[in-house]
Amino acid sequence: MVQQPPVVPNTHPSIGVGTWAWGNQLLWGYDPAQDGQLEACFHRAVELGLRFFDTADSYGTGRLNGRSELLLGGFCSALPEARRRDITVATKLAPFPWRLGRRGFGKAFAASQRRLQGKLDRVQLHWSTARYAPWQETPLLEGLADLVQQGLVGELGVSNLGPLRLQQVHHFLAARGVRLSSVQVQLSLLAPEAIGPQGVASFCTELGIELIAYSPLALGLLGRWPGESPTFPPGLRGLLFRRLWPKVQPLLHGIARIAVERGVEPGAVALNWCRSHGALPIVGMRDPAHAEGAAAALSWHISRKERMMLDQLALTSSARMPSNPFQSP
């Protein structure tokens, strides 16, 4: 089949909504009593023009597994049809060890469709198995390509693929006549590897693949002002923040200088740094204020000088987010 021409990525992508916290008790302290607040957050995000919503079939702790999709599907179903069509819902399917073969995602895809009440625009491979079970990945990708070609879902994306595997998957799918729409990687000022000379970002530009940045605020750390006596969140996030706090101060001071000059919050600077590198950052949101803060970042663009200053700080900083163990080369 003829390979489809690449799509030129947007110079200043929008901002997406992440729903990892919707159902996650371990890291985010989810409680079902928060559902009304999450619904208000969803509708405020849509009102403000945020159109990309990212979820996964594994989001939700323990018995709440799938809760994120369930909530998002319900919220979408309450929208007027025209508004519902206007947003993109992308879910990720986890390549658990028991999901094998070309039909390994069949039941999982059907379950996600049910929870999302049919509003599923893009299906994504949640992570690569290239490091530990390379034989598992290609049949699963074949099955995802089948879903696109059968018209069951419009777009196909991947997540946690490095540049080598990304190129291989792109060419594999192109031979099937299926376009690879996007790749999600951890990208922030505390995880800048994707923007390096041989990073994923350069290959996304070359191949016409949308680059999506998850954890663009480093679990919220990059939304803070520098200071001596901060209040840390409870649990695992607090442990990470305490470890990184002393090392991240030079970077936070650089972010703060831009934020003060621009009259914005630090998080807006961190998000616009991602956008300046051609990435669509997906921001975890749990209340309307989060949606308003993210939407405010869309009103301006970071300058070349500001970006270069932040690039230098990020690439020379000793503070780093933990890398994803499932990230492929």
Any idea what the CATH number is for the domain that residue 156 is in? 3.20.20.100
> Which of the residues in the chain have pLDDT under 50?
1-10
Catalytically active residues are: 59
Task: Evaluate whether residue 233 is within a structural domain.
Answer: no
Does any domain span residue 127? yes
Q: Could you tell me if residue 310 is inside a domain?
A: no
Instruction: Assign 138 to helix, strand or coil.
Output: helix
Range of the domain at 284: 16-225+266-302
The predicted structure's pLDDT at residue 10:
47
Is there a domain that residue 186 lies in? yes
| DSSP strand pairing (210-214 vs 88-93) | unpaired
State the pLDDT at residue 295: 95
Residue 168 within a domain: yes
Domains identified in the chain, total number: 1
Q: What secondary structure does DSSP assign to 89-137, as a single string?
A: EEEEE---TT--STTTTHHHHHHHHHHTTT---EEEE-S--TTT-HHHH
Look at the block and give the residue holding tokens 């616009």. 272
Give dist(CA 280, CA 98) in Å, integer: 32
**Predicted pLDDT at 11:** 60
Question: At a CB cut-off of 8 Å and minimum separation 6, what does 68 contact?
Answer: 19, 20, 22, 23, 24, 55, 56, 59, 60
Asked if residue 165 is part of any domain, the answer here is yes
The length of the chain, given as a count of residues: 329
pTM of the full structure: 0.94
pLDDT on residue 222: 97
Helices (H), the chain: 25-28, 35-47, 67-77, 81-86, 106-115, 134-149, 163-176, 200-207, 235-262, 266-276, 288-296, 304-316
User: Is residue 237 a part of any domain in this protein?
Assistant: no
Residue 200 within a domain: yes
